[in-house]
Amino acid sequence: MKSRPLAIACLLVAIFVAADAFGCPTCKDGIAANDTEGANLARGYFYSILLMLAMPLTLVSSFGAYVWREMKRQQRQEQVDLVSRQTMAPAAAEHTSPGVPRS
């Protein structure tokens, strides 16, 4: 019994809001006047759906590519730092502080 008023309220909202679901008046009138077969409307829906599906994928893959590139850059920098430390270590061993005899 409690669901009956809810169902009636939903039905009334659907009836009164259905007119707004057709979109902007310019688009609705343009479709009705120029496109009797609906081919252009279907094509428009097709491309808009493709755009909506591609946008999240593009954003996520762009962010992933940025993170991957930064990680690779950091790994290369760590390799350069390691090589430079290894080449500087023998040179630092040759230069001892004054007063310390070499063996």
Q: Is the pLDDT of residue 75 over 90?
A: yes
Going by C-alpha positions, the residue among 38, 48, 46 that lies closest to residue 30 is 38
Rg (CA), the chain: 35
Separation between Cα atoms, residue 103 and residue 93, nearest integer Å = 12
Residues 6 or more apart whose Cβ sits within 8 Å of residue 38:
31
pLDDT band at 15 (very low <50, low <70, confident <90, very high): confident
The predicted structure's pLDDT at residue 23: 58
The predicted structure's pLDDT at residue 35: 63
Whether this model's pTM surpasses 0.75: no
Separation between Cα atoms, residue 75 and residue 32, nearest integer Å = 60
pLDDT in tens, 17-72: 665 555 555 665 666 666 666 667 777 778 888 888 899 999 999 999 999 999 99
